[in-house]
Amino acid sequence: MPSTKNSAISTRQARRGHGRVTLQDVAEAAGVTSITVSRFLREPVMVAEDTAARIRSALAATGYVPNKQAGLLASGVGNIVAVLLPNLSNSIFAETAQGLSDGLQDAGYELLIASTSYSLEREEQLLRALLGWHPAAVVVTGRRHSPATLKLLVGLKAAGTPVIEIWDHHPPAPGTQRARFTQIGFSHDEVGRAMAAHLLAAGHRRLAYVDSGVAEDYRAHERGLAFMAAARDAGALATVIASPAGDAFDAGRQVLGDAVRAGAAPITAMAFANDHLACGALLEATRRHIAVPGQLALLGFGDFAIARQLSPALSSVSLPRHAIGTQTARSLLDALKLSRPAVSASLPWALIVRGSTQPGAG
C-alpha cells in the first residue's frame, strides 16, 4: 500500500469559499489555464502530450472532482433523467429502476429517482422538484396524473423534452385528441381479460377479483374492470372484493377467510391484484384445508419469487419488469440522439399456469 500523499492536498491550492479543488487549482498546478484542463478532460487528444502529462499529475495530486452543477449550467446540456415510480420497496419497480440504470449508465446519464407512494399529489410535488434539475427526459408511471402534473408534462413535451409513461400501454381511442405521451409497458386491460379467460376456460362460473388495497393503484383497478367485463361477456358471475390495507399477505388471508365464511353460492376462483395477496390467500386456504384448486382456484399477478415456492405453486402473470426499464432507456437514448419523440412499445407478459389453477400443473 503506497503512502498517502496528503501533502499535495493540504498545501498549495487556492481553495475558494468551501475548500474544494477547482479547475483553476489544477490549471495552476499544471502551469496552464483552466480551459486547457477543461479540454483535456473532455477531448484529451486536443492537448499536447507533455501538457497532458503535467495535467494528469496535477489532477492526481489535487484529487480534483469536476463540479457538475457548474458544468451543466455552463454547457446547458442536461444529462439527468428524472424517474417517478410508485415505490421502490416492492421489487417490481425496483427492477425497472435497475433496468433503466443499466441502460442509461454507459450513455453518461444520471438517474434521479423518486417514489410517489402511489399518490398523484406526491407525484406532482416530486415532479416539480425534479424539474428544477432540468432533466433531459422524464419518466413517469402510468397514464393517470393530476391535472397540474399533466399540464407540466404537456409543457415539457412541447418544449422537446421526451416524456415517457411506463408500466402501461393503452392505445389511444380513435377519436381522442387528448395529449398522449410515449408509453412503454403493457395493456392491463388485456391482462385482466386473460386472467378471467384462464379461469373461465377451466370451467369456473363464479369468480372474484380481489383488488389492491392501495386506492390509487389504477392499473390494478383497470385489470379488475377488464376481468369483470370478460366474465360478464362469458355469462359468468363475478364480483370485485376490496382488500384491507396493511400487510398484503394478511390482507389476502383475511379476504379468503371472509369469502369462505360467506357461504351461499361460493366463489370457485379468485384472481388477485398481486402475488402477495394471492399468496396470503393460498396459505390461508391451506390452513383451512380448502382444496386448491379443487375447491377454489387462485390466480396471482406479478410472478414474485415466492409464487412458485408454495404448494400448490401459484399461477400468476409474469411481467417484463426489467425490460420496461431497458426498453425505456433505449427508446430515450434514441429520442435524445435524434431529437424526435421517443417511440412507444408494448412489452410481452405471460400467464404462467401452475398448480393453484390447474391440478397437476407445475
- Contact residues for DNA, defined by CB under 7 A: 16-18, 20, 22-24, 32-36, 38-39, 41-42, 46-48, 50-51, 64, 66-67, 70-71, 73-77
- Give whichever of 100 and 336 is closer to DNA, judged by the CB atom: 336
- Give whichever of 35 and 245 is closer to DNA, judged by the CB atom: 35
Phi and psi torsions of 125, nearest 5°:
-55, -50
CB of 132 to DNA, least distance (A): 9
- Give whichever of 70 and 179 is closer to DNA, judged by the CB atom: 70
Exposed/middle/buried for residue 184 (C-beta within 10 Å: 0-12, 13-18, 19+) = buried
For a copy of itself, the binding residues (CB under 8 A) are: 1, 4, 6, 9, 17-20, 63, 65-73, 76, 87-91, 94-95, 97-98, 101, 110, 112-113, 115, 128-129, 131-134, 147, 151-152, 154-155, 158-160, 247-249, 253, 276, 279-280, 283, 287, 305-306, 309-311
Nearest CA-CA partner of 212 in 190, 236, 192, 194: 192
- Give whichever of 48 and 158 is closer to DNA, judged by the CB atom: 48
- Give whichever of 297 and 310 is closer to a copy of itself, judged by the CB atom: 310
The neighbouring-strand residues paired with 84 are 114
* Separation between Cα atoms, residue 62 and residue 60, nearest integer Å: 6
Which of DNA, a copy of itself, none does residue 39 bind (CB under 5 to 8 Å by kind)? DNA
Which of a copy of itself, DNA, none does residue 41 bind (CB under 5 to 8 Å by kind)? DNA
Residues 6+ apart with CB under 8 A from 180: 172
* Separation between Cα atoms, residue 197 and residue 191, nearest integer Å: 10
Which of DNA, a copy of itself, none does residue 46 bind (CB under 5 to 8 Å by kind)? DNA
Classify residue 340 by its DSSP letter. S
CB of 139 to DNA, least distance (A): 23
CB of 23 to a copy of itself, least distance (A): 13
Nearest CA-CA partner of 189 in 137, 227, 243: 227
In this structure, the dihedral spanned by the alpha carbons of residues 159, 161, 167 and 170, taken in order and rounded to 10 degrees, is 40
* Separation between Cα atoms, residue 174 and residue 291, nearest integer Å: 46
